Amino acid sequence: MYLTDGLSVLFIFVLLLGCQNSHPEEETEIVTKDEIVLNLLMPSIGIPGDTITLRGKNFPSLPKVNFGIHPATILESNKEKVVVIVPEKVDGNIDVTVVSDEKRSNIVIFNFQLMEKIELADPTIFLYNNIYYLYGTGGKGGDVDQGFLVYKSNDLRKWDGPSGTLQGFALKKGNVFGSSGFWAPQVFLYNDEIYMAYTADENIAIAKSNSPLGPFKQHTVLSGDTRQIDPYIFIDDDGKAYIYFVKLLTGNKIYVAQLNENLSDIKKETLKLCISAETGWEDTQQINWKVAEGPTVLKNNDLYYLFYSANHFENKDYALGYAVSESPFGPWEKHDENPILSRNLIGLNGTGHGDFFKDKNDNWFYVFHTHFNNSTIHPRLTGMINGDFFKSKEMIYPEMSFKKETFQYLMVK
């Protein structure tokens, strides 16, 4: 009996000793001399186009990095680090490996970041202190009878928000003019101050803020003898400010007027009609109340380009065209090849009413809305497309053209 108990104790002691000796072997990383080891991805979650850093050991001098079967573009590499761009065809969680001609690393998982399409109509983008700010009509969690949400981004690809100081709103009812119908904002700098022009109660107001995130507070309400919407303020090279906007007068018609120096009101004697919708692409449904709206103005080579949307916004043929003038007041010559952005270009219905902006590399982009899909109008979605002016020998003036392959919807985390 005592002998049996002693053997049992001895057996347990030997077993415990063996377990203790096994720990160092388990914790020691055993790597053969030339084995490729992939330890981690930084960050480990993202979307196509993101820049990802891979850390590990024994990376080859000319590595190949695969996301599943998709090869990644390599930006830089050494024996312990490889920096790559996530391939465009990645659409879910996926295995990542580093390979040479003869060897392959272990697998590390890249996690696909789920994103949602932003649901803003009549959008505008404002670049300020190297950050992009996005505003528009409505939006998920927003309310056209409450104000304007704002989103922000460092790269135009991933947006955060809503980020406004007033529960996501940059401008909210109560601080400013308006009780309902907050539509079509434009945010801009004037004399180093941040302004927002917008529509409310089918009238036009201007607000100010110390930050793009708000809160925007009342500056002025513009005078007018009719309902008026869709303001766009253009600052010319000489510092003069002009407002292009829509009067609801036997149709949606675009007018221009010069603003006084403090942007408190228009100079009424300068008011002038710019654009009325006519036939053809501007009125595909042949309705009595014709629509030209959503003006944006650019200046290029001393010429003024007035971009506008035509047709009712619920019409699948809602589209963008432009006219050219040697003066901010016109007369305006409509482009022969209008529309320049339509469902025929990108295959989506209801393309229009947006704003031009330049990115950090001085490239032109147009941000605009589309219908939710080709069978449903609401909620409208926010997209953007790259464009530029070009001129051939046959052209009278440089023409704006969009690159359809650059279209993308704006996505929020």
* CATH number for 142: 2.115.10.20
Please tell me the predicted confidence (pLDDT) of residue 101.
82
Integer Cα distance of 287 and 149 in angstroms: 33
Q: Is the same domain home to 62 and 135?
A: no
Q: Does 10 fall in a domain? A: no
Q: Contact at 8 Å (CB) between 364 and 322?
A: no
Integer Cα distance of 65 and 380 in angstroms: 38
Q: What integer best gives the mean pLDDT of the chain? A: 92
Integer Cα distance of 170 and 303 in angstroms: 34
Q: Which of 112, 133, 164 is the last residue of a domain?
A: 112
Q: What's the domain count of the chain?
A: 2
Please tell me the predicted confidence (pLDDT) of residue 23.
43
Q: Does 24 fall in a domain? A: no
Q: Is the same domain home to 47 and 108?
A: yes
pLDDT exceeds 50 at position 54: yes
Please tell me the predicted confidence (pLDDT) of residue 176.
97
Q: Is the same domain home to 142 and 78?
A: no
Q: Is the same domain home to 150 and 72?
A: no
Q: Does 58 fall in a domain? A: yes
pTM of the model: 0.88
Query: Three-class SS of residue 243?
Result: strand
Q: Which of 112, 132, 164 is the last residue of a domain?
A: 112
Q: Does 1 fall in a domain? A: no
Q: Is the same domain home to 107 and 125?
A: no
Q: Is the same domain home to 105 and 121?
A: no
Domain holding 162, by residue range, is: 116-412
pLDDT exceeds 80 at position 254: yes
Q: State the average pLDDT over residues 252-269.
A: 97
For the stretch 69-105, pLDDT in tens is 999 999 999 999 999 999 999 999 999 999 998 899 9
Question: Which residues are bridge partners to 207 per DSSP?
Answer: 196, 218
Question: pLDDT class for 141, splitting at 50, 70, 90?
Answer: confident
Q: Is the same domain home to 126 and 225?
A: yes
| CATH label of the domain that carries residue 52 | 2.60.40.10
Question: pLDDT class for 32, splitting at 50, 70, 90?
Answer: low
Q: Which of 61, 92, 112 is the last residue of a domain?
A: 112
pLDDT exceeds 90 at position 174: yes
Q: Is the same domain home to 127 and 272?
A: yes
Q: Is the same domain home to 82 and 165?
A: no
For the stretch 374-398, pLDDT in tens is 999 999 999 999 999 998 778 889 9
Q: State the average pLDDT over residues 248-267.
A: 97
pLDDT exceeds 60 at position 34: yes
Please tell me the predicted confidence (pLDDT) of residue 33.
62
Beta strand 158-159 pairing with 411-412: parallel
Token pair of 99, please? 């390979």
